[in-house]
């Protein structure tokens, strides 16, 4: 059933974006009602409108907090055209019918983001506008609701092309837009009041989305909800894939641990190359040497700008994505020679304080693992204490193992990843895999260090590591058999420290 738009109520915070819609409604002879600043704006652009106060016979009160909350407004929105009782009451109380409602809510999110005071934020909680949206959406069989600036163009098309008459399908579609707007608005308000301190329910609302080429595999569809353009500028290349996004996320979390010039190469969310040096050029060369075979087709991430000289070295490697704070003009030209190569310029950003993922028939939520113990926090449990070089390597390796899939072992020397065992069901298997990786690429483990994401249940790992040349170990501690590992280290002149912090990652 088509409904001719004869009367519309317009209530806007941002007025100018609605100019064309207002003019089109006016030109079609639609009677307009409005309030305060919106009413003034409508008249300023040469259109006629009635003040809502002429209908309610009440002025705007409480500093503008109450303008439209009145039975003569909501009765005209909620009345059912096919309900005899509703129609009789409209006549009895002289209530006009509204066929269209246009709303632009107070900018609550923007106010919060601007670090405004609590009082300013509270005043930007829209009451009347959100009530108008919900009422009109509920009565979509009779009313067309336009709930935000995002939908003005669609509404203009209806007014222009359909002679100001809306179909039932259009009204139902706009009602879905309306409830999306209202539910998101309420979720943002809840998040502000909840402040993340006492998570008694899970609410998340992300309005931006991007359809991906596919999910993890070509037979799976995939979407990203959020706006990753807030994190970086894409300077070159194709659209990010589902797997690209996962790898970039892992890379950003990893590289955020390091202050020195550092370069990481990731595959399947794990670092296959990682190094910290005095210059980013040196860091890249060292990171590539970790495992040049696995680096093929990987994700590259740097915490320093990329120079032309660095770009010439990097471009020799086939990779999908590179992320850095900035790229010299010549470096960008070199790296952009491959049109599909994704180049991302990282912006200043803050990583989320909580993580969530679907599990079973619900959602798991946890705080970010933002703990990293420093040498002053360590417990030195062996007779041999790590020297300054070993302590630097132990800290490097512990940062890296924290961001490696469990069970995880990392072997490092001179702030360079030599080999890692990732995602193994046995810690011994993880260590053996790390040793084999290091040997495979010609790395000597003599004098290297070992980091474990969790404690050693038995002394077998420190024994295997010692026989491979490892001289220092960092681990959380906490096993019933810690003493056996300590005794082995003491008997073989190894240094071992406990952090007291486990870093499982699944």
| The residue to which tokens 């009765």 are assigned | 75
Q: Which of 146-150, 268-272, 351-355, 366-370 has the lowest mean pLDDT?
A: 351-355
Report, in this order, helix, strand and coil percent for the chain, each rounded to 5.
40, 20, 40
pLDDT (mean) for 142-159:
94
What pTM did the predictor assign?
Answer: 0.84
- What pLDDT score does 196 carry? 57
d(CA 486, CA 475): 12
Spatial separation of the C-alpha atoms in residues 57 and 70, rounded to whole Å: 10
Reported as a single tens digit per residue, the pLDDT across 288-335 is 999 999 999 999 999 999 999 999 999 999 999 999 999 999 999 999
Q: What pLDDT, on a 0 to 100 scale, did the predictor assign at position 197?
A: 60
CA 99 and chain centroid, separation: 39
Nearest Cα to Cα of residue 275 among 291, 262, 256: 262
- From the list 284, 302, 280, the residue with the least C-alpha distance to 292 is 284
Percent of the chain beyond pLDDT 70?
98
What pLDDT does 97 receive?
92
Mean pLDDT of the chain: 92
Q: Cα separation of 430 and 343, whole Å?
A: 33
How far CA 184 is from CA of 18, 109, 196, 227, 483, in Å, comes to 21, 10, 17, 15, 54
pLDDT at residue number 351: 84
User: Positive or negative CA dihedral for 477, 480, 481, 487?
Assistant: positive
Res. 452 pLDDT band, cuts 50 70 90? very high
Q: Which residues are catalytic?
A: 138, 268
Residue 495 neighbours by CB under 8 Å, 6+ apart: 380, 382, 384, 385, 386, 390, 471, 472, 473, 489
What confidence score (pLDDT) does residue 198 get? 64
Question: pLDDT tens digits, residue range 11-21?
Answer: 999 999 999 99
The pLDDT tens digits for 176-208 are: 999 999 999 998 998 888 875 667 788 888 888
Gyration radius (Cα) of the chain, Å: 31
Asked if 273 and 253 count as a contact pair (C-beta separation under 8 A), the reply is no
With CA atoms as reference, report the closest residue to 21 among 10, 36, 34.
10
Question: Exposed, middle or buried, 479 (CB in 10 Å: 0-12/13-18/19+)?
Answer: middle
**pLDDT recorded at residue 205:** 85
**How does DSSP assign 260-318, residue by residue?**
SSEEEEEETTEEEEEEE-SSHHHHHHHHHHH-TTTTTTEEEEESSPBPHHHHHHHTTS-
């Amino acid at each position: 059933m088509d409904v001719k738009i004869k009367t519309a109520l317009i209530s806007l915070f941002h007025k100018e974006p609605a100019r064309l819609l207002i003019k089109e409604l006016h030109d079609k002879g639609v009677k307009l009602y409005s309030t305060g600043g919106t009413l003034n704006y409508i008249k300023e652009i040469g259109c006629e409108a009635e003040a809502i106060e002429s209908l309610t016979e009440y002025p705007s009160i409480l500093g503008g907090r109450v303008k439209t909350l009145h039975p003569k407004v909501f009765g005209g929105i909620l009345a059912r055209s096919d309900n005899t009782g509703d129609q009789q009451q409209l006549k009895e109380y002289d209530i006009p019918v509204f066929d269209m409602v246009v709303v632009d809510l107070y900018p609550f999110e923007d106010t919060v983001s601007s670090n405004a005071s609590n009082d300013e934020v509270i005043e930007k909680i829209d009451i009347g506008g959100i009530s108008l949206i919900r009422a009109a959406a509920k009565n979509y069989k009779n009313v067309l609701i336009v709930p935000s600036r995002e939908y003005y163009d669609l509404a203009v098309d209806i007014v222009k092309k359909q002679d100001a008459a809306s179909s039932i399908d259009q009204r139902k579609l706009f009602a879905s837009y309306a409830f999306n707007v209202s539910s998101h608005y309420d979720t943002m308000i809840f998040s502000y009041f909840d402040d993340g301190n006492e998570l008694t329910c899970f609410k998340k609302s992300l309005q931006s989305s991007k359809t991906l080429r596919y999910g993890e595999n070509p037979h799976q569809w995939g979407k990203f909800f959020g706006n990753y353009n807030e994190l970086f500028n894409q300077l070159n290349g194709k659209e990010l894939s589902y797997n690209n996004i996962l790898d970039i996320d892992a890379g950003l979390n990893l590289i955020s641990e390091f202050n020195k010039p550092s370069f990481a190469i990731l595959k399947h969310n794990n670092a296959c190359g990682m190094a910290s040096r005095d210059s980013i050029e040196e860091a890249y060369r060292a990171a590539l040497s970790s495992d040049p075979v696995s680096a093929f087709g990987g994700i590259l991430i740097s915490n320093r700008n990329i120079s032309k000289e660095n770009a010439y070295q990097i471009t020799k490697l086939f990779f999908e994505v590179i992320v850095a704070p900035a790229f010299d003009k010549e470096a960008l030209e070199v790296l952009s020679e491959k049109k599909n190569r994704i180049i991302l310029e990282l912006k200043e950003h803050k990583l989320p304080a909580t993580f969530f993922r679907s599990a079973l028939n619900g959602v798991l939520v946890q705080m970010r693992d933002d703990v990293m113990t420093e040498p002053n926090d360590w417990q030195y449990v062996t007779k041999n204490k790590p020297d300054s070089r070993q302590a630097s390597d132990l800290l490097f390796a512990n940062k890296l193992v924290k961001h490696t899939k469990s069970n995880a072992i990392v072997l490092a020397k001179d702030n360079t990843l030599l080999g890692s065992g990732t995602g193994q069901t046995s810690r011994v298997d993880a260590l053996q895999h790390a040793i084999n990786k290091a040997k495979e690429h010609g790395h000597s483990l003599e004098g290297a260090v070992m980091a474990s994401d969790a404690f050693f249940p038995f002394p077998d790992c420190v024994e295997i590591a010692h026989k491979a040349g490892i001289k220092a170990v960092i681990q959380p501690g906490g096993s019933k058999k810690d003493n056996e590992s300590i005794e082995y280290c003491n008997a073989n002149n190894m240094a071992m420290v406990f952090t007291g912090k486990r870093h499982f990652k699944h």
